[in-house]
Amino acid sequence: MSMLNYMLRRLVQAIPVMLIIMVGTFLLLKLAPGDTVDALVGDMGGADPRFIERLRAEYGLDQPVLMQLWIYMTKLARFDFGWSFVHEQPVMTVLMDRLGTTLLLMISSLFFAVSIGSLLGAIAARKAYSLTDNIISTLGLVFYAMPSFFLGLMMIVLFSVKLGWLPVGGIQTIPSFYEGWDYVKDVALHLIMPTASLSLIYLALYMRLMRTSVLEVADLDYVRTARAKGAGEWRLMIHHIMRNALLPVVTLLGVQFSTILGGSVVVETVFSLPGLGELAYKAVIQRDMNMLMGIIFLSSIVVIVVNFLIDLLYARLDSRIELT
Amino acid sequence: MTAHETTSPILEIESLRIALPEGSDRPLAIDGLNLTVRSGEIVCLVGESGSGKSLAAGAIMRLLPEPRVRVVAGTVRFEGQDLSTLSAKQMRSLRGSRMAMIFQEPMTALNPQKRVGWQIEEVLRIHTSLSRKERRARVLEILEQVRIPDPASAVNAYPHQISGGQRQRVMIAMALVLQPKLIIADEPTTALDVTTQLQVLKLIRELQAKFGTGVLFITHDFGVVAEIADRVAVLRQGELVEQGTVSEVLNRPRHPYTQALIAAVPGLNPPAPKSFDTAPVVMRVEGLHKTFKTRGGILAPRRNAVAAVDDVSFELRQGETLGVVGESGSGKTTVSRCVTRLLDADGGSVMLGDTDMLKATRGELRARRRDIQMVFQDPMASLNPRKRVVDLIAQGPIVHGENPEAARSRARELLALVELSPAAAERYPHEFSGGQRQRIGIARALALNPKVIVADEPVSALDVSVQAQVLKLLAELRDRLSLSLLFVTHDLRVAAQLCDRVAVMEKGRIVEIGETATVFANPGHPYTRKLLDSIPGRDWTPPLLAGTAA
Amino acid sequence: MSVLESEIGTAPPSGWSVMWTRYKRNRAAVLGLVLLVIVLAMAATAGFVEPVDPLRRAGDPLVPPFTDWATPLGTDQLGRDILAGIFHGARTSLLIGIVSTVVAISIGILVGAISGYFGGWIDDVLMRVTEAFQTIPNFVLLLALVAILGSSLQNMIIAIGIVSWTAPARLVRAEFLSLRGREFVEAARNLGVGDAAIIFREILPNALPPVIVFASVIMAISILLESALAFLGLGDPNFASWGNMIGAGKAVLRSAWYCAAIPGIAIVLTVLAFSLIGEGLNEAVNPRQKKS
């Protein structure tokens, strides 16, 4: 069978997960004190009971719970996440406005964490139990214990307050102040500290995983075979060890992606980046439940899409996976 | 054989000593090994597990896991050159070109992510300056020589896409592609089925003779030795106890250890048939069916439904042993799991007394389980590592409502029955050797006073000397307690020794069933004949040695 | 007959002392244990350091550390004693870390055991639910739960438990999948042992060691999650919390960065302690990973 079929099957598998998340967000909304109409009325500064009654009927809130669930799910399926009374806009519009910043932060953090992490891990494993390994491994443990917000604040103290090298926060200096390459440079400069503070924990994680993985693979029979063939250390590393040792790293990448996305809440708040995470924090503070559920739903979709792409990558990397 | 004496030695090992890390069961893995391999001869290094035979191979290739395990004394000379004086780079240029290695487990010895052709070609890429095209041609040629069907497409296959036997042929091709002077083969056929084993042994013999290669062949199996060796060296706990030509060692062993090892090899002449016609039938299996379905999703409907057991019928009488023999994938293990209902069969009946095990309700089944007990293959995995031996043995009776104290004191009696000391009761499984664990497993099965014992390859994980003891114990207990045994095995020698009747299975079906002596003497089915012809060392009858063994 | 089958010599010492000997060999792991003991001691003696209320005003605002003996680590912008905050914060962190780990591991064992042992549609359903929980970014879900349940200490513990059970569930499931086909489990089934007894008496004890090792990781993550919530001002305002101290310190970062740095170091050391202990336990449980 073909790649296309494999892709289709993976997508079909995601449907029940998506449905469970829909039901879950609905339950959370039901659990939350107050409903849409309460929020709306609160927004208007009060209304008479008959008007409230009519509004409830209009939003389907007088229907049985299962009916409400159905209405809710059909809306979600059309990416209609409702109205934000805080932003006075449809939730979807606000989300789309913010998605780009968060994705940019995700991509740069992941790239940094995976590439540097695997490289350091591989070096540590090849020099296992030496001074180099001890230094790398100890640094890894310290990074792993470092809360991102604390790291972020300390970097602000050092690089912005004391040294004045990097901007304290935001995604660009003044909106549309720069153009072309200058704009790219400006955004990149703003992203250095957020990326570093978000990715360091994951860098440590991938590093430790890669170290274990390389040590494990280096002990396998086929590496011994390659040695018996007369292969040198570089050839062993590149052709026989790395390729196989990277597989668990790719798997973890999929598992970890949603956690990293969650981590952006704190980092975006620390650096005032206008992304989904900062939006989620504000939504909680302002009790904008529609917005919060919209974020949960949209980020779940992002996670599913990313996991799908990672699965495809894995299938390409591991010849044992038959695309049938 | 005298021809080899005249050729110059390729490999000379002199008083080799290999040290093990501190805290091992002994300080030296190999102590004072002397061995010579000449071109064109096959020298078998024989030993039981833990004898240090594989580490000797590692020392020759200088592939020991140093510094934990290292050579502390002695010399290894290859074509007259002391290998310890070579630099790492010089050593690399020898490996794969002048000396090569074949490993035991061809699945794990090949890189799963690289195509077969690439992996053979790698040897050429490392050691020669052939062009891409020349390399490809050479790879095809060597694949042809190891008789891989359709080499042109095998080149592009990944290791998991070809069979175990073919993988081992690829390993051989990889070792031979540069026609080395020395090949070290470390148990190269142990992981293979008996028919494949014979083919691979023949192939090694043929190519070795053709290229005049010297082979150091490491094995634990005297049948294989008889099949392939010119000369034999026997290792015991790192010490060389005996060395000589194959006929000297196999037929006139001098050292008591060699004598005991050879005495433990089961002969191929089954005992005279006993008649069980008058004994009552304790288990009757009829039309047993089991198909494994691979589970698919919405877009992947069920596929590859393989009949693992297909219309299997037999009966087992009191006191009788029925052997179920076959190669891997023949369905013999599935039969053992279906009759005990550890797996649910798809059809047929298993009558145990008046109860059909396959249709029994949960309650009936629990009660009936007393009558049919199992002894498992892996002596490590079949005992819960976190339970004391006495609790392991008493568990069955306690589950069936016996007083725990009474069950435990009976468990202690059972230990004596399986010839273990009563002190064993309070210990944990990991404190015992493989053979002792298997005795514990037998005691557990006996604790419920079963009528039938289903033994699934109970001795295949054991060394040959231990194997003989466990088989003897099983036979004794069977006769004393008039048990019926359903004995699943891949090893025809073992079957010949213990079984009154055998059922030969192929692809889920019983192709032949009858008295062991009859089947072995006059196989009725071509597959049975093929199996019997593939037994390594079938032409060699272990000598009856006075003063040793049973 | 025992000529060939070598008798087994002295019995090795029991499991715990072997584990401890292996654990001791790892100096980093011992350091982790020492750090943990220090944090535990801080939590235990918090009442002596500040018997009344760590959140009360103890002196002038923004006293730098090591300048006044009444407040050795200085005060924050509201004049609260930082040392008292650190000691009482240790209580909060450990309490939340330990209890929510127990919650997460319990849910994880239950789901993973049932899923792995029974397989089939039960496994399918439970795994889809697990995937759904893993798909929602855990911190966003945590925010939503705290927003809905309110942020009392008890609710935070429940919420952290709810967002952390998936990883142990998968771990337990994988262990069960590999153990349920083992011959000792088949042996127990063949003796007529029931499902519940097989799950809890035969398989679980053998599946537990990696779960216990993993518990230290969850402990570390729980502490990080709590501190992040508190940092955002969503923690329980009635308890001293390191995260909350850092959050408050953010406002005076330019002038008095120590207000954020001191509690930050406390978090790093505590989480480091759990990570080091986890590594040590892992090596003690799987000794073959260590080479030299």
Mean pLDDT over the full length of chain A: 85
Query: Is residue A106 within 8 Å of A264, Cβ to Cβ?
Result: yes
Spatial CB neighbours of C182, under 8 Å, sequence gap ≥ 6? B381, B382
Across C160-167, average pLDDT: 93
Do residue A129 and residue C135 have CB atoms under 8 angstroms apart?
A: no
Instruction: Summarize pLDDT for B105-157 with one digit per residue, the tens.
Output: 888 899 988 999 999 999 999 999 999 999 999 999 999 988 888 888 889 99
Q: What is the dihedral of CA A23, A24, A29, A31, to 10 degrees?
A: 120
pLDDT at res. B41: 93
| Closest approach of C93 to chain A, Cα-based (Å) | 14
Residue in A269, A296, A307 nearest the CB of C141: A296
Q: Cα-flanking dihedrals φ and ψ of residue B541, to 5°?
A: -100, 120
Residue B67: asked if its preceding bond is cis (omega within 30°), the reply is yes
| Closest approach of C1 to chain A, Cα-based (Å) | 36
Tell me the chain A residues in contact with residue B110 when contact means C-beta distances shorter than 8 Å.
Answer: 222, 225
pLDDT at res. A124: 92
Which residue is listed with tokens 């042996």? C187
pLDDT at res. B299: 43
Q: 3-class DSSP state for residue C33?
A: helix
Look up residue C231 and give its amino acid.
Answer: F
Structure tokens at C156: 């935070």
pLDDT at res. C11: 41
Interface A-C: count of C-beta contacts within 8 A? 151
pLDDT at res. C132: 92
C82: nearest Cα among C257, C223, C229? C257
pLDDT at res. C292: 34
Structure tokens at C235: 């923690």
Across C174-195, average pLDDT: 90
Instruction: Summarize pLDDT for B514-545 with one digit per residue, the tens.
Output: 999 999 989 999 999 999 999 988 888 888 76
Do residue A145 and residue C275 have CB atoms under 8 angstroms apart?
A: yes
Q: Is C291 on the interface with B (CB under 8 A)?
A: yes
Question: CA neighbours within 13 Å on the CB side: how many for A24?
Answer: 25
B131: region left, alpha or beta (phi > 0 left; psi from -120 to 50 alpha): beta
Give the pLDDT band (50/70/90) at residue C3. Answer: very low
pLDDT at C289 over 60: no
Q: Is C25 on the interface with B (CB under 8 A)?
A: no
Residues for chain A: how many in total?
A: 324
Residue B105 CA, distance from chain mean position = 12
Q: Where are the alpha helices (DSSP H) in B356-454?
A: 362-368, 389-399, 404-417, 434-446
pLDDT at res. C219: 92
pTM across the whole model: 0.84
Across A207-231, average pLDDT: 90
Q: Is B415 on the interface with A (CB under 8 A)?
A: no
pLDDT at res. C106: 95
Residue of B nearest to C192 (CA): B366
Chain B residues 417-476 with CB within 8 Å of chain C: 419, 427, 430-433, 435-436, 441, 444, 448, 463, 465-466, 469
pLDDT at res. B546: 55
| Closest approach of C97 to chain B, Cα-based (Å) | 30
Structure tokens at B185: 């083969």
Residue in C224, C253, C275 nearest the CB of A147: C224
Residue C250 CA, distance from chain mean position = 26
Residue of B nearest to C10 (CA): B431
Do residue B264 and residue C4 have CB atoms under 8 angstroms apart?
A: yes
CATH of domain A97-317: 1.10.3720.10
pLDDT at res. A8: 84
pLDDT at A184 over 90: no
Mutate to test the interface with C, among B395, B426, B473, B476 (most CBs of C within 10 A): B395
Q: 3-class DSSP state for residue C226?
A: helix
Chain C residues 64-103 with CB within 8 Å of chain B: none
- Interface pTM, i.e. ipTM: 0.86
Query: Is residue A257 within 8 Å of A111, Cβ to Cβ?
Result: no
Domain boundaries defined on chain A: 22-80, 97-317
Instruction: Summarize pLDDT for A57-80 with one digit per residue, the tens.
Output: 777 777 788 888 888 888 888 888
Q: Cα-flanking dihedrals φ and ψ of residue B156, to 5°?
A: -95, 5
Residue in B386, B419, B431 nearest the CB of C8: B431
Q: What residues pair up with B219 in beta bridges, in sequence order?
A: B46
Burial C175-201 (b: 16+ CB within 10 A, else e): bbbebbebbbbbbbbbbbbeeeebbeb
Distance CA A43, CA A37 (A): 9
Distance CA B281, CA B228 (A): 44
Tell me the chain A residues in contact with residue C138 when contact means C-beta distances shorter than 8 Å.
Answer: 258-259, 262
Instruction: Summarize pLDDT for C196-231 with one digit per residue, the tens.
Output: 999 998 999 888 888 988 898 899 999 999 999 989
pLDDT at res. C290: 41
Chain B residues 30-59 with CB within 8 Å of chain C: none
Question: CA neighbours within 13 Å on the CB side: how many for B466?
Answer: 20
pLDDT at res. B258: 92
Q: Cα-flanking dihedrals φ and ψ of residue B356, to 5°?
A: -90, 110
Across B183-193, average pLDDT: 89
Do residue C184 and residue B374 have CB atoms under 8 angstroms apart?
A: no
pLDDT at C12 over 50: no
pLDDT at B296 over 50: no
Q: What percent of chain B has pLDDT over 90?
A: 51
Q: Is C193 on the interface with B (CB under 8 A)?
A: yes
Burial B317-349 (b: 16+ CB within 10 A, else e): bbbbbbbbbbbeebbbbbbbbbbbbbbebbebe
Across B221-243, average pLDDT: 91
Across A246-265, average pLDDT: 88
Q: What percent of chain C has pLDDT over 70?
A: 92
Do residue A9 and residue B94 have CB atoms under 8 angstroms apart?
A: no
Across C165-187, average pLDDT: 91
Do residue A147 and residue C129 have CB atoms under 8 angstroms apart?
A: no
pLDDT at res. C291: 39
pLDDT at B397 over 50: yes
Query: Is residue B296 within 8 Å of B302, Cβ to Cβ?
Result: yes
Tell me the chain C residues in contact with residue A17 when contact means C-beta distances shorter than 8 Å.
Answer: 128, 131-132, 135
Residue in A138, A212, A265 nearest the CB of C143: A265
Which residue is listed with tokens 């045994």? B485
Structure tokens at B295: 């589970």
pLDDT at res. B164: 84
pLDDT at res. B430: 85
Spatial CB neighbours of C244, under 8 Å, sequence gap ≥ 6? C230, C231, C233, C235, C237
Maximum separation of any 2 CA atoms in chain A, in Å: 87
Residue in A220, A228, A243 nearest the CB of B63: A228
A261: nearest Cα among B438, B435, C139? C139
Q: What is the dihedral of CA C263, A201, C213, C96, to 10 degrees?
A: 40
| Closest approach of B6 to chain C, Cα-based (Å) | 38
Query: Is residue B111 within 8 Å of A224, Cβ to Cβ?
Result: no
Least confidently predicted of B189-193, B213-217, B505-509? B189-193
Q: Is C205 on the interface with B (CB under 8 A)?
A: yes
First to last CA, chain B: 34
Residue in A141, A262, A281 nearest the CB of C275: A141
Do residue B68 and residue C291 have CB atoms under 8 angstroms apart?
A: yes
Q: Is C52 on the interface with B (CB under 8 A)?
A: no
Do residue A229 and residue B297 have CB atoms under 8 angstroms apart?
A: no
Spatial CB neighbours of B454, under 8 Å, sequence gap ≥ 6? B336, B339, B340, B372, B373, B374, B375, B485, B486, B488
Give the pLDDT band (50/70/90) at residue B273. Answer: confident
Instruction: Summarize pLDDT for B308-327 with one digit per residue, the tens.
Output: 898 999 999 999 999 999 98
Instruction: Summarize pLDDT for C254-268 with one digit per residue, the tens.
Output: 888 888 888 999 999
